[in-house]
A and B are shown apart, each in its own frame.
Chain A
Amino acid sequence: MSLGLTLEGVHTHIGRYHILQGVDFDAPAGKTTMLLGRNGAGKTTALRTVMGLWRASKGRIALGDARLEKLAASDVARLGVGYAPETMAVFSDLTVKENLVLGAREGPLDEKRLNWIFGFFPALRKFWLSRAGALSGGQKQMLSIARAIVEPRELLLIDEPTKGLAPAIVGALIECLKEIKATGVTILVVEQNFRVAVEVGDEVRVMDNGRIAHRGLMRDLAADQALQNRLLGLSLDSHQ
């Protein structure tokens, strides 16, 4: 069983800006938690703070019993945290294979796991020795997620996986997220596409102005249009 993530009173400053202003939420072990909110609410900052890419100025972040808030990103990753950033951040000059080799920090690539990944991202097998920079946006997103899961993880942080992708690719990504979820990994996903959030999310946390404005079950939020309007300024219908 994987480990759950907890944030208590987390503050993050970026330069003069006070972005996270006391964030409290949890991502239960083995579940997929969606982190939603309007643009600028602090979702990406929350993920980067968990990952150690921005340092929390105050508060507690824990993965199971391990404290993360003072760790460097490399040490957070070594605790079993995989990260697929919003920018995808694939290494353009490296091949698909080389990108995945770097993702497998513990040792050589596991062919069985690769086959599992190729099952939902066949393009990665096809373009195995191609430069990542030559891939399409959707393929880069697949590579970014594949790199994050190329080894078993305790926690997976995924930032806007469907951003700018064609509907067909979004469908493949949804299937992928469901498959990963089935392995029991704790997943925290920042997502703007509400339909995707409803399809893959067990839990939901909604951020607003650097704080958590709502926490509950994803299906409850999906069923409550008034709450969606209040929290997100949208209705599910408008995104279907």
Chain B
Amino acid sequence: MSILDAGAALPRPKIDLLPALTPVVVALAAAPFIGSFSTFLTLTAAGLAMGMMIFTMASGLTLVFGMMDVLNFGHGAFIALGAYVATLVLLPLASWSSADSVPLNLAVFLLAAVAAALVCGALGWVFERLIVKPVYGQHLRQILATIGGSIIAEQLLYALFGPDQIPLGLPRTLEGSFVFGEAAVEKYRVLATLVGLAVFLGEMLILNRTKIGLLIRAGVENREMVEALGYRIDRLFVGVFMAGSALAGLGGAMMGLYRGQVHATIGAEFLVLCFIVIIIGGLGSVGGSFVASILVALIANYAGFVAPKLALVSNILAMVVVLIWRPRGLYPVSGR
């Protein structure tokens, strides 16, 4: 056997499954209060879809914070921008959306999603060079600069697209629901869940199976040592920032379609949720963000049904409870 394939003799650390099971525990705990199984199924499917969209938006933020130590309050601007880019693709191609053709419907969705990610990724590069790079290592200035950047971006969106909400219809194939007995699960929610899962699996594959992923994981833990090994960390930073912005754009496009309308404030609205998710998940942890996104979305859905007033503060309460239980989040990253 090759040395490189030699087995480990040190006991592997126990896989900490408990945090990953929290969404299941929450679902089981909520079920008796909801009563009807079909309602429970609908709420759970909606929560999963919402969770996957939040994860898509938040995973970029957690990597950017974890690796670059940058508090990017401008992340919301890319969420909004992604939603607007989706309108720029979907509105002119309305005939593809309304066509009685599954391939055309899916193609226009794919085009919108890819365009949102690409445009946001490219503008992420500009944002990083102009606004973030001058304030590396200065948290207070980062907050001020990125908030300033996001305000400028939001005002630019108003100037370009106007202050009114822009309606955004789903492609025909994605309208309607799958019906299971008395439960209805919207087709778009199934797609959103699949996209979120694909993003998660893609990120985990890159992080765990490629050298770039190794560098990102190492950079989250100790940037200085990565540089001392000869890797140009600033280039890696830019790449991670662009990827984070692209994911925010993709998430924004998905969310715009989910809501059926786009407005510049969508970014600020979901930015808070993204921060809650990355704090609950453990700063810098993609896996933690994944679990936290599902957890937060499920709690919001269940609380909205069982005790609507509680839903207003459910995210904050979830964060408080998790941080009391695990002060560094569900899956803390070493060195963070």
Interface residues of A (CB under 8 A from B): 51, 53, 72-74, 77-78, 83, 85, 89, 91-95, 97-98, 101-103, 105, 109, 111, 114-115, 118, 125-131, 133-135, 147
B4: CB under 8 A from chain A? Answer: yes
Given A91-B218, A134-B13, A128 and B225 touching (CB < 8 A)?
no
The reply to whether B221 and A93 contact each other, CB–CB distance below 8 Å, is yes
Instruction: Determine, out of B42-50, B77-85, B86-94, B229-237, the stretch whose residues face the partner at the interface.
Output: B229-237
Interface residues on B, range: 20 to 34
Contact B3–A130 (Cβ < 8 Å): no
Q: Which residues of B contact A102 (CB under 8 A)?
A: 211, 214-215, 218, 226, 229, 231
A130-B8 in contact (CB<8A): yes
Contact with A along B274-305 (1 / 0, CB 8 A): 00000000000000000000000000000000
Q: Which residue of B lies closest to A100 (CB)?
A: B4
B residues contacting A by CB (< 8 A) are: 2-4, 6-13, 211, 214-215, 217-218, 221-222, 224-233, 333-335
Nearest-neighbour CB distance to chain A for B160, whole angstroms, equals 39
State the CA gap A64–B211 with chains docked (Å): 31
Given known A-B contacts A98-B214, A101-B211, A102-B214, A109 and B227 have beta carbons under 8 A apart: no
The answer to whether B224 touches A53, judged by C-beta atoms less than 8 angstroms apart, is yes
Name the distance in Å between A119's Cβ and chain B's nearest Cβ.
Answer: 12
19 new A-B contacts at CB < 8 Å, known A73-B227, A74-B227: A51-B228, A53-B224, A53-B228, A73-B224, A74-B232, A78-B230, A83-B228, A89-B224, A92-B334, A93-B221, A94-B214, A102-B231, A111-B4, A125-B3, A126-B9, A126-B10, A131-B13, A134-B10, A147-B229
CA distance A230 to B232 in the complex (A): 43
**Residues A91 and B228 in contact in the complex (CB < 8 Å), given A115-B3, A126-B9:** no
Report the nearest A residue to B219, measured CB to CB: A91
- Which residue on B lies nearest to A51, using beta carbons? B228
Q: Taking A102-B215, A133-B334 as contacts, is the C-beta distance between A77 and B3 under 8 angstroms?
A: no
Would you call B7 and A129 a contact (CB within 8 A)? yes
